[in-house]
Every structure is written in structure tokens, then in C-alpha cells.
Structure 1
Amino acid sequence: MIQISTLSIIIPVYNEARTVHQILDLLRRLELVNGIGKEIILVNDCSTDASAATIRAYAERYPEMNLRLLEHAVNQGKGAALHTGIREATGDYVIIQDADLEYDPEEYNLLLRPVLKGFADVVFGSRFMGGQPHRILFFWHSIGNKFLTFLSNMVTDLNLTDMETCYKLFRRDIIQNLKLVEQRFGFEPEVTAKVARVPGVRIYEVGISYYGRTYAEGKKIGWRDGFRAIYCIGRYGLLRG
């Protein structure tokens, strides 16, 4: 059994004032297996709404959570926010969490299971493995996600079912030693390609729930990001950029 003292939770935030307090409520109530502690790092990517004020008010209300709020002076993109949070993480393992309500933090324990058993260094949470609730939305988005995963698998020689998933759990030294450059949603194919090349890395995948949002509810990713993902798969997978 592997011992983990702290899990660093990295949350990129851009105009999520409406939901960020709800995800923090879930994290506050969350009990990790084996008494693992939580380090919660929020990176405000120059939001134009009340996201930063909402987070500060929450931190004052619940000082025991020891929330860390990092700020970007200009909007740089989700990937850039993740770079900032990853660089500042101090936990044994690092997990990515969106500030919306599409993913359930209760399922961190599912991702931690193969790590604690000593099998995994990196764990992806798959929305397509089955066995967990999945909101029915956007046929072409699901086809696009599976197509991008297929292309990524071709160049990485992995057999993932969901490369584009938010929930990715990394051993901290592995993720901090990767040279990551993508500023927006290209983070997903880039980090997948680069982590696949880490000598001896053990990558696992577990099924997770997905409570997707519509664009009216705040979903941000679009078709341009899909084309960028294809470019990133080629650049970081085939060309090893």
C-alpha cells in the first residue's frame, strides 16, 4: 500500500462566480480515503466577473480549508492557469478539477485506488468506460472526443478511452518535470503525449461520472479547440515537440 499525505487539487477559474462556491462546498465536505489531506489551489485567469471576490469570501469563511488563490494579471487560457497551479503544488499527487459542476470530486477516491495499491503513477478518469452516471448531450462532441482520443492513441501507443477528460491524476514529480507550453485546451493532448514518454510510467484509467453543461450553462470549449487538439496531437505526439 502506497502512503500519500496530501493531494494537490488544481482549479483553473475563468468567470465561474456562479458555480465556484458550489465546487468548493463539495471539496470542503470531501473525505479522501486513508485520511489523505487536501491542498486546494485556485488560479484566477483574469476573470471579468466576481470569481476572485467569491473565492476570497469563501476562504475567509472557511479558513480551515487553507485555500490558495493565485491570480493572472491578463487572461492566458486554461492551460496557462494549470501550468501556474502545477508549478505551485506541494502535494504527493496532483489532480485537475474544473470550477464548474461537470465532474464529481467524490470520485477522486476512484482515481486514487490504483495509486494506493501501488499499480499507477498517472490515472485518467474516463467518461466513456460506463458504470457511472453520464448526462446525455451533444452527439458530435462525443464523436469528436472519441476521434481525438483515437488520434492521440495512434501516436502515443496508449489505449485510452477518454484523452480529453478533465480528471487526470499525476504523481507530482512527474507532472512538474514535464515542459508544458499549451496555453488553452491544447493542454490535454500535450500532457497526454508527454506523460506517455516518461520512462517506466504506469498509466491507468477508471470510469467516472459526467454532468455536462450546455453552452447556455457556461460550456466554453468549441470547434476551434478541436482543430487545435489535432495540431497538438501531431506536434507533441508525432513530432515530439
Structure 2
Amino acid sequence: MILSIVIPAYNEERTITELLHKVAASPLPLSIQKEIIVVDDCSTDHTGLLVRAFQQGYPDVSTHYVCQPTNQGKGAALRTGIQLATGDWLIIQDADLEYDPSEYILLLQPLIDGKADVVYGTRFIGNHPHRVLYFWHSVGNKILTLVSNIFTDLNLTDMETCYKVFRTALIQRIDLREKRFGFEPEITAKLARVPGIRIYEVGISYYGRTYSDGKKIGWRDGFRAMYAILKYNLFVA
């Protein structure tokens, strides 16, 4: 069995090497191998060079590096990575260090047990470390999750989470269109329409970063996420 780990990256030279080491070291059952796919969204720093250095230093780790021809956004990078994946399952991993790769096994367990088709890692349930940061970001996340739930009739606690694990065959069948941070509400809306789909949530840790640390999402992305909720639940199949 193979777990494909799709990592969209844009100007992440400060964290990408440490992140790749953590991904490579994350514990999984011996029967599950890792396939790392880094999609560089046309970075202007040394992100690409550092990924290639990791490839050379760890030739036994299956690592693929792809650079987008132009900067298109996280959603576009994810589309590229998803289509390149060959694993049985696929997890999305941000290139920063906000999410802990050592928790892959927690997210995979419902899939391994044959109980789930998709697992969301929620930052808002369970006794896991959670860095205290921006109040209005947390309010915005909860409002977006609430509005999304109203339309999808799901009872998610963290729709905007990065950590989502899918059966690869399922996610590759879904027509994704969002180029930036609208990916989260779009994929949630489209998953909710899949007949008989089984979606689980698992509590995860969260080590949020500040804007000085390189955090990129802003209030404009919140408005785009709200637009995407309405668009993909009401107007676009």
C-alpha cells in the first residue's frame, strides 16, 4: 500500500527541508510506503534547490519535484499533485510546520480499518497541542465551517483544515477548479455530493505560525472561501 503526500510549496525555504525530514520519518506500518510529491508554485527563493538536495541525500525516499511554470496558487498546485499521485491514499501536507507529519497514522487509521473514504484532521477537538494565535482567524474558520455545514448537511468542526486524507481514486475523479485557498470549501462541497461517502474527523495538533513566520492566508482569502461555499453548493456541480 502507498500513501501519496502532496506538498504545495511557495517560497518555503525556511521550513521545507525540516518538513521533508519529518515527512520521511513519520511512522507508518511496514506495509505502507510513502510517495512524496512536492509541487513548487514557481517559488522565487531556494525552495526548489532544497527539495532537490533532499532528493539527492535520501535516494531511498520516493520524492517527486514539480515546478509550476507560473505562480497559480495553492489550489492549482494541489490539482497538479493530485493528478500525479499513484498511491492508494492521498494526504495534503502544507510546506510550513503548522501540522505534524507524525500524526499521519492517526489520520489513516479509519481508512486502514475500512471505515472511511475521507478523513479530516480537525484542530478543534481532542487533547492535542494547539498554539494560541489570532482570535479573528479562529472566528473566521468557525464561521466558514458553519456556513459550509449548512449547505452540505455535514457536521464538520474544521472544514478549513489542511490535513485531509482521501482514497486516491476518489479525489482524482473530482473536477477541481479553485486556484487558491478556495480549494477547501470546494472539495468539501463536492465530497458531500458523493453518494454513500464516509467522512470522518480525527483530532490533530496545530502549531500555527504568524505572518512574520511566513503565514500567507489573509482576509481576502476568507471572502474567497465564502464565495466558494456559495458557488460550489448552489451553482456549480
The TM tier, using the shorter chain, reads over 0.9
SS at match of 1:33: coil
**Aligned to 2:230, which of 211, 216, 234?**
234
Aligned residue runs from structure 1 range 134-153, under 5 A: 134-153=130-149
Q: What's the CA shift string for 1:29-86, capped at 9, x where partnerless? A: 1221353100000000000000001111111111111210011111000000000000
Cα root mean square deviation, aligned:
0.8
**Aligned to 1:132, which of 128, 132, 145?**
128
Q: Are 1:207 and 2:229 matched, yes or no? A: no
SS at match of 1:63: coil
SS at match of 2:212: coil
**Aligned to 1:181, which of 169, 177, 180?**
177
Runs of at least 5 residues in structure 1 that lack an aligned partner in the other structure: none
Runs of at least 5 residues in structure 2 that lack an aligned partner in the other structure: none
**Aligned to 1:193, which of 184, 189, 193?**
189
Q: Are 1:158 and 2:154 matched, yes or no? A: yes
Q: Which residue of 2 aligns with 1:30?
A: 26
CA contact (8 A) 2:91 2:166 kept: yes
Aligned residue runs from structure 1 range 1-241, under 5 A: 5-241=1-237
How many percent of aligned residue pairs carry the same amino acid? 62
Q: What is the rounded CA distance, in whole Å, between the counterparts of 1:61 and 1:224 in structure 2? A: 39
Give 1:37's aligned amino acid.
Q
TM-score (norm 1): 0.97
Give 1:150's aligned amino acid.
L
Q: What is the rounded CA distance, in whole Å, between the counterparts of 1:118 and 1:84 in structure 2? A: 27
Q: What is the rounded CA distance, in whole Å, between the counterparts of 2:24 and 2:118 in structure 1? A: 24
CA contact (8 A) 2:3 2:34 kept: yes
TM-score (norm 2): 0.98
